[in-house]
Structure 1
Amino acid sequence: MNTAGRIVRLAERDRAQVQFFLDGEMRHALAGDTVLTAMLASGHTLRGSEFGSERRAGFCLMGACQDCWIWQDEGQRLRACTTLIVEGMRLRTTPPESWP
């Protein structure tokens, strides 16, 4: 497992730790992180590109571009850059089988 994040936390390292699951693997974040920050800081990318084999890492980081949609295990989509991470959250980078 890659523990080096795509982003590096420079401040606010003393916030409470939160556990979440990404593609079935337990990850750690800090309370107050967005889902996107939690994913990138834990060494993961956001998701695959629809247009090639590249991995996506978000684009505008402020909820305008629609690039950061990911899924919860239950099937609902969420915008990773504007949604706060929650203890026990179960996320996936690919759509569930039930996705339209």
Structure 2
Amino acid sequence: MFRQLTDPGVSSFHVYIDGVAAIARPGDTVAAVLLRTAPHIARHTPVKETPRAPFCLMGVCFDCLATVDDETSVQTCLVEARPGMRIERPRGKLRITL
């Protein structure tokens, strides 16, 4: 669906989406990496588990929510990817543990 344009002068690094390595580059948002990585979604809705992808890409719609480095409900369109970052696509209802 989406692909990254090549730029030979820019180095890349790995982030981990659902435990699988994905390639990111400096300046990429987590949402951009999710859009390039199959199944090209950020989350599933809590009730019907409908797949959702980042929509507005500016922090208004909340369709890009994911768990990033153990922090839940992160708007991935507003977070820049960092080397080694762990991203998990939510599925189903959130579970709160105390």
Same fold (TM over 0.5): yes
Distance 1:66-1:53 versus aligned 2 partners, 3 A rule: closer
Instruction: Note the residue ranges of structure 2 that are not aligned, 5 or more in a row.
Output: none
Tell me the distance in 2 between the aligned counterparts of 1:42 and 1:10. Answer: 14
SS of 1:81's partner is: helix
**Uncovered stretches (5+) of structure 1, i.e. residues with no partner:** 1-5
Q: Percent identity?
A: 28
- Which residue type is aligned with residue 85 of structure 1? A
TM-score (norm 2): 0.76
What's the Cα RMSD here? 2.4
Equivalent residues in 2 for 1:79-90 (5 A)? 79-90=75-86
The aligned length equals 93
**Structure 1 residues 99, 51: CA separation in 2 closer, same or farther (over 3 Å shift)?**
closer
Deviation digits for residues 59-88 of structure 1, max 9, x if unmatched? Answer: 111111122111124244321111000000
Q: Tell me the distance in 1 between the aligned counterparts of 2:5 and 2:58.
A: 20
